Amino acid sequence: MAGNIRYGVIGTGMMGVEHILNINALDGAEVTAISDPDTGSRAAGAEAAGIGVEATFTNHEDLIVSGLCDAVVVASPNHTHIDILPDVIEAGLHVLAEKPLCTTVEDSCAVVDAAQDTKAVAWMGMEYRYKPSIARLVDEVRTGTVGRVHMVAIREHRFPFLVKVGNWNRFNRNTGGTLVEKCCHFFDLMNLIIGAEPVRVYASGGQSVNHLDEVYGGETPDILDNAYVIVDYDNGARAMLDLCMFAEGSRNEQEIAVTGDLGKIEAFVPEGVVRIGHRDDGSVEEHAISDARIAYDGLHEGSSYLEHLDFRDAILNGTRPKVTLTDGMRAVAIGVAAHRSIDEGRPVMLDEVMK
């Protein structure tokens, strides 16, 4: 590809602007067009990208046909992905889809199907894979440091959901539910680390503290703010998520522990520390992890920048995406199953939601 890769960004709220700033720091790349129906978000995106009105659109269709882009980042609200992603794919543009892929399994499968024959790079945005300490944990697991993986435990204790344009993220119908919107990251990590098929989900959760005194259009938000989720895999391994979104006082927002028959490895974010424990002698190593390639830290410890490096290189080299739309669909499926488990008070088999 001669010259810079030209990026369009569809959806320029908080995360869309974050993508623009990451692309600005990327060699061989530039943001040449943005689209968003909201006036304020559109202005913020244009300012971050440094583009004029001629490259600023109110809808994604006009951006797609503008001829200004080689690749597109879709960072619009979750419930709009099903209307936008097939259009981008059909146009033959490279695409990075911000998580979650869609709000339902059905819509996610439809997008996966739409991309089956594309010659462009169709990449699922899962930047948590790229957080340096988490990436190191995954590498250690793959090289056999802990032996055969039997248990994965992920804890996210953090602040409540941020305010988004029009408060779209306050309602399950727009987000897919907290365990799809937020936790698809962690279900994707479970799948990546364990490397087997999830078969059964048990979950318990509720809305205990956050957003209970908020009203929008006569409705109170219905998004969960805490949950436990257990996922069983077909190789006998199991994983657990411990989510609390009213835990602002935590030292680390994410803590991940992987335990095998040879030892245990833990990653701490944003502390940037990995600890490796060995069963044979009881010793524990501690490593401070960083990545010298990061040119922009942003909101996620540089992980979005590292993700964009790989997306760019896949475009330039014509290689397959390291994170696929199918990966995104599988993460959505676990989230959907977890919500069903909470709603119905029973374990849910993955094949129930994958039909």
Contact 352, 340 (CB under 8 A): yes
Q: What does pTM read for this prediction? A: 0.97
The pLDDT of residue 74: 98
pLDDT, mean of residues 240-246? 98
By DSSP bridging, strand 5-10 and strand 71-74 are parallel
CA distances 256 to 16, 17, 91, 341, Å, are 27, 28, 39, 23
DSSP letter string, 5-64: EEEEEE--SHHHHHHHHHHHTSTTEEEEEEE-SSHHHHHHHHHHHT--GGGEESSHHHHH
Percent of the chain with pLDDT over 90: 99
Domain with residue 57: its CATH number is 3.40.50.720
The pLDDT of residue 283: 98
Residues 77 and 10 in one domain: yes
Residues 64 and 154 in one domain: no
| Mean pLDDT over the full length of the chain | 97
Residues 170 and 278 in one domain: yes
The answer to whether residue 147 sits within a structural domain is: yes
Q: Which of 232, 239, 180, 174 is nearest to 205 (CA)?
A: 180
Q: Which of 164, 196, 166 is nearest to 181 (CA)?
A: 164
The answer to whether residue 74 sits within a structural domain is: yes
**Residue 179 in this model has a pLDDT that exceeds 60:** yes
Q: What are phi and psi of 332, to 5 degrees?
A: -60, -40
**Residue 1 in this model has a pLDDT that exceeds 80:** no
By DSSP bridging, strand 94-98 and strand 71-74 are parallel
Residues 341 and 228 in one domain: yes
The pLDDT of residue 3: 77
Residues 107 and 207 in one domain: no
The answer to whether residue 303 sits within a structural domain is: no
Q: What is the pLDDT of residues 55-87, one digit of tens each?
A: 999 999 999 999 999 999 999 999 999 999 999
Q: What is the pLDDT of residues 2-25, one digit of tens each?
A: 679 999 999 999 999 999 999 999
Residues 161 and 285 in one domain: yes
The answer to whether residue 301 sits within a structural domain is: no
The answer to whether residue 300 sits within a structural domain is: no
The answer to whether residue 302 sits within a structural domain is: no
Residues 216 and 348 in one domain: yes
pLDDT, mean of residues 255-272? 98
Residues 268 and 148 in one domain: yes
Which domain covers residue 343, as residue numbers?
129-295+330-353
Residues 270 and 315 in one domain: no
Domain with residue 194: its CATH number is 3.30.360.10
The answer to whether residue 111 sits within a structural domain is: yes
* Residue type, position 101, single letter: L
Angle at 79 between CA 77 and CA 82, to 5 degrees: 110
Contact 98, 73 (CB under 8 A): yes
Residues 177 and 77 in one domain: no
Q: What is the pLDDT of residues 85-136, one digit of tens each?
A: 999 999 999 999 999 999 999 999 999 999 999 999 999 999 999 999 999 9
The pLDDT of residue 355: 74
For the chain, the domain total comes to: 2
Residues 67 and 175 in one domain: no
Strand order in the sheet with 94-98: 56-57, 29-35, 5-10, 71-74, 94-98, 122-125
The pLDDT of residue 2: 61
Which residue carries 């209307």 as its tokens?
A: 83
Rounded to a whole number of angstroms, the distance between the first and last alpha carbons of the chain is 41
The answer to whether residue 41 sits within a structural domain is: yes
Residues 93 and 66 in one domain: yes
pLDDT, mean of residues 209-238? 97
Percent of the chain with pLDDT over 70: 99
